[in-house]
Amino acid sequence: MLFKLPPCIIKHHGSVKSLKYIISISRQKGSKSRNTSSKILAAASSSVVKPAGKFDNEENTQAKSSFGKVDSHFLNDPHSKKSSLEENVLNSQLNQHLKPVTKPDVTASLSDTLEKDVPTTEKEVVKLLNTVKPADLDWRKQVLDIRLLPRYYKSLSKFRLTGLVVLTTLAGYGMAPGAFEPITFSCIVLGTALSSAAANAVNQVLEVPYDSQMNRTKNRVLIRGYLTPLHASAFAVCCASIGLTTLYLGTNALTAALGAVNLILYTSIYTPMKRYSIANTWLGSVVGAIPPLMGWAACTGSLSAGAVLMGAILYSWQFPHFNALSWALRPDYSRAGYRMTSVIDPAMCRRVALRHSVGLLVLCSCAPLLDLTTWTFAFDSFPLNCYLIYRAWKFYKEGDNHSSRKLFRLSLIHLPALMFLMLIGKKYSSKDEKHEKVS
């Protein structure tokens, strides 16, 4: 700064003109420094404009201290006494020059605007971008519409997914070598549906912070605030207790145990694992393979090789189905922090989908060897499985949303069609025929 010139220079010049010259030079330097020293500290979603009062105050104190250190001889100089009027004019000009700028071109962070040394009159309005309105953050009392409760419970239980679980359970019940019993059939349907609804409700309660970041799940009832997490938890507890009790009393202990294990796997292991390891896909496939075992156990009271084969078919079907679904949802899963194979290792995602599509063809061909179906099922399911392999191959080679979407839609048709063909090609033993005649 030119304000820190040695006092001797000012003394030897001893004139008002020199002081004017110094002030004019300092004004030019100060304007250049203010134009070139603008500082940008931008946040990701906000920008705040703040006057440079802090910086000007420091310069003011330094300038005033330097002028205060001027030699006393200069103040007693006769020339300066004679021009006291001119000095007063210069002092007013100096004070005007050292006045803090009210509208600087300096951008600072939000914390700098809250400095105590900046007067409140000089603070400008803080403007935040990409933020919610303050009114949206206010607490509002939740009003529950009783008439819409069935719709909320339907969404909370994931009605279509629950229906698919019940369908695979009935496939296991129908393929089991046992007689049809209406009471057992009704109990297995009701118990499986309630257990699945409880698992899905707990899943939504645990994933509220993450579902709100995904376009596919941001309109769920808990995200929208139609139901409270406590209400959803109470619904899940009621469904789980009634469902498992129905399975235990209406079928047998093995079926109830399988239902309880599936509920624990889905809510306590699979749901948290989605944020830590890609192994969640394999564990989720195990969860999807248990319902046909429950149906088989409800019919016969035990498990055999045929039940294991049906579980293996459901296990392999999960991979082309879910991998194709997760491929189109990669931005959502990445934003929410889910460690899915499609996000972490896309090549493995496509490779596993193709591998298990081929595995479905092999497993369906093994069904006649275990006396589960006749050879009719092996021939009837061959074109269906080959078309699934073709779609999985296209998904493996192209790896785009178009091929993944076609594979996903085919998987939704493939499983019901496969279960239907399996029921048609079921192999009956002489003991089964006697049971059917008696019933």
Per-residue pLDDT 10s for the chain (439 aa) are: 444 444 444 444 445 555 555 666 656 555 544 444 444 333 333 333 344 444 444 445 444 444 444 444 444 454 444 456 666 766 666 565 555 544 444 444 444 444 444 444 444 555 554 455 666 556 666 777 788 899 999 999 999 999 999 999 999 999 999 888 999 999 999 999 999 999 999 999 999 888 888 888 888 899 888 888 999 999 999 999 999 999 999 999 999 999 999 999 999 999 999 989 999 999 999 999 999 999 999 999 899 999 999 999 999 999 999 999 999 899 888 888 899 999 999 999 999 999 999 999 999 999 999 989 999 999 999 999 999 999 999 999 998 999 999 999 999 999 999 999 999 988 887 555 545 444 4
Sheet architecture: strand order including 127-128:
107-108, 46-49, 127-128
At CA 415, angle to CA 412 and CA 421, rounded to 5? 135
DSSP letter for each residue of 202-247: HHHHHTHHHHTT-TTTTTSHHHHTSS-HHHHHHHHHHHHHHHHHHH
Closest-CA residue to 199 (of 162, 227, 174, 230): 162
| In the chain, domain spans | 149-302, 304-430
301: left (phi over 0), alpha (psi -120 to 50) or beta: left
The answer to whether 318 and 349 have CB atoms below 8 angstroms apart is: no
Closest-CA residue to 320 (of 419, 407, 412, 416): 407
pTM for this predicted structure: 0.66
The C-alpha atoms of residue 246 and residue 187 are separated, in whole angstroms, by 6
Query: What is the CATH code of the structural domain delimited by 304-430?
Result: 1.20.120
Res 268: pLDDT: 92
Res 54: pLDDT: 43
The C-alpha atoms of residue 40 and residue 129 are separated, in whole angstroms, by 16
Q: Domain 149-302 classified CATH 1.10.357.140?
A: yes
Other CB atoms within 10 A of residue 146 CB: 6
Tokens 């194979």 -> residue: 341
Radius of gyration of the chain, Cα coordinates, nearest whole angstrom: 39
Res 69: pLDDT: 45
Strand partners, 373: 426
Closest-CA residue to 153 (of 246, 222, 242, 243): 222
Q: Is 69 exposed, middle or buried (0-12, 13-18, 19+ CB in 10 A)?
A: exposed
Tokens 């935040």 -> residue: 128
Res 103: pLDDT: 45
Rounded to the nearest 5 percent, the helix, strand and coil shares of the chain are: 75, 0, 25
Res 252: pLDDT: 92
The answer to whether 22 and 93 have CB atoms below 8 angstroms apart is: no
Q: Which residues contact 32 (CB under 8 A, 6 or more apart)?
A: none
In single-letter form, the type of residue at position 271 comes to: T
Strand partners, 108: 48
Q: Which residues contact 60 (CB under 8 A, 6 or more apart)?
A: 98, 100
Tokens 């250190």 -> residue: 69
| Sign of the torsion formed by the C-alpha atoms of 162, 163, 166 and 168 | negative
The answer to whether 180 and 439 have CB atoms below 8 angstroms apart is: yes
